Amino acid sequence: MNPESRCSGLSPGTGMPSGGIAPAPERGDLGPRRSMTPLHPAARHALGRRRPVERARETRPMFDRERTLYAFLLDYARKLADGIADAHLADQPAPGLNHPAWILGHLSIGTDIARQLLGKPTACPESWPELFGPGSTPRPDRSVYPSKEELLGALARGHEAVARASAEVSPESLAGRHTVDLAFLKESIPTVGDLLAHLMTTHEATHLGQLSAWRRMMGLPGVLQL
């Protein structure tokens, strides 16, 4: 073998690399470049003036992604509640477990908090914050809780109100710090926008995960086709 060929990595007499892979072609071997239709000068000027964030806002309305997830979570809540007899809504298969009555009521209170963040009036009954609000304790007493129909109705109405108001909110009103008096929220989720996004997504998902676990402990099947 020619030493030059060995050093260069080319197979002798072929001009190919010793591994058999052809070298990349020169630009001229690829044929003529495809021409693209040029932008109209006015369009080019407008795109140049707008920043990427501004273009993204025009493409996707405020809280659009959160509303998509919010709608999914409401549908998930309905699926999880389906098949649970009203009489068993406060059953606790383990001591202190969050049961369906408390979870659905607590999420309804969450929609009231979201309404307040959006400058809207609350809608849940006056007794519900004490029964379902942050810091409340689920009780294994079915008589103290509303019916499943009432709980699901309140949750659905709350979702509708929050989804509608979140589409109209201004970025400026979301930038300030919220006044919800819970230390972990003030530290980890400090602004109005942060907390609103949490209430529409991770807060609901967390508690619906608890409801899913409750169903399994009660011998009920899963509801998502995973």
Please compute the mean of the pLDDT values over residues 195-222 and round it to a whole number: 97
DSSP code, position 86? G
Mean pLDDT of 139-165: 98
Provide mean pLDDT across the span 148-162: 98
> 45 near 53, Cβ under 8 Å?
no
Q: Of 89, 75, 85, 163, whose CA–CA distance to 131 is shortest?
A: 89
Mean pLDDT of 29-42: 54
Q: Across the chain, what does the average pLDDT equal?
A: 83
41: confidence class by pLDDT, cuts 50, 70, 90: low
For residue 186 the two structure tokens come to: 């003030």
- What pLDDT does 9 receive? 41
Domains of the chain: 73-217 (1.20.120.450)
- What are the residues whose beta carbons fall under 8 Å from the beta carbon of 6, sequence distance 6 or more? 18
**pLDDT of 48 strictly over 70:** no
Interval 102-121 mean pLDDT? 97
Q: How many residues does the chain have?
A: 226
Under a CB-based contact definition with an 8 Å cutoff, are residues 162 and 115 in contact? yes
CA dihedral for 115, 116, 118, 121, sign (positive or negative):
positive
Confidence of residue 184 (pLDDT cuts 50, 70, 90): confident
pLDDT reported for residue 165: 96
Kindly report the pTM of this predicted structure: 0.74
Under the banding of pLDDT at 50, 70 and 90, the label for residue 15 is very low
- Report the pLDDT averaged over residues 41-64: 60
Give me the DSSP letters along 131-162. HHSTT----S-GGGS--HHHHHHHHHHHHHHH
What is the model's pLDDT at position 39?
56
Would you state the pLDDT for residue 51? 57
pLDDT score at 112: 97
| Contact assessment for residue 88 and residue 134, using Cβ atoms and an 8 Å cutoff | no
